[in-house]
Amino acid sequence: GDQVEQSPSALSLHEGTGSALRCNFTTTMRAVQWFRKNSRGSLINLFYLASGTKENGRLKSAFDSKERYSTLHIRDAQLEDSGTYFCAAESQGGRALIFGTGTTVSVSP
Amino acid sequence: DPKIIQKPKYLVAVTGSEKILICEQYLGHNAMYWYRQSAKKPLEFMFSYSYQKLMDNQTASSRFQPQSSKKNHLDLQITALKPDDSATYFCASSQELENTLYFGAGTRLSVL
């Protein structure tokens, strides 16, 4: 079946640095969403992309349907960026979202 | 204030019993969903509803029955509970089926 492979599973960053999370898809996906789990367990939507790139503050996401991947870049990491990030993709044929396994980001001083 | 309310936050049940998980959204959305996250597994889609009609069902077991009494409600009834049903169940909504999802805080269910 359709799958989403998210990496890395854990990421440690120092304040002010940056890195990228990546999701690879086994088939062509129609769109991708990125979420962060907040302290109450809710999943907060960060980005929704059907193509191209979007930027919001220190976060930037890209989605390439043809190459079957999406990325989430964090720059100038801050302590409040710590949390678990998920990507989720919509397959071409279905309405269901397929989630990655998550990346736990830890930002330290 | 949370716009998607899930109740209860924690739920403990005995094997074989029946429980109802409550979800209400105050975002004016037309589509609602249930997802499940079991330990060490990715979040898993269960159901989607649009205008109170079932649109997609990826749950193999008929023990899971969504109930939509009002447009902004989508409860989840689970019968004949099993320990494997232990998971956090997330409700979500979106303006329409293919729009951005917004999630509730989840109900953590433990079946003993």
Query: Contacts of residue A95 in chain B, CB cutoff 8 Å?
Result: 48, 55-56, 97-98
Q: Using an 8 Å Cβ cutoff, are B60 and B43 in contact?
A: no
Question: Of B44, B47, B51, B48, nearest to B62 (Cα)?
Answer: B47
CB contact under 8 A, A42 and B45: no
pLDDT at B102 over 90: no
Residue A2's pLDDT is 65
- Backbone dihedral angles phi then psi of residue B25, each to the nearest 5 degrees: -125, 140
Residue A24's pLDDT is 97
Residue A94's pLDDT is 62
Q: Of A35, A96, A102, which is closest to B48 when you measure between CB atoms?
A: A96
Residue B101's pLDDT is 82
A:B CB pairs within 8 Å: 56
Residue B44's pLDDT is 87
CB contact under 8 A, A42 and B2: yes
pLDDT tens digits, one per residue of A20-46? 999 999 999 999 999 998 776 678 889
Question: Of A15, A44, A45, nearest to A106 (Cα)?
Answer: A15
Query: Contacts of residue B99 in chain A, CB cutoff 8 Å?
Result: 48
Distance from CA of B81 to the nearest CA of A (A): 23
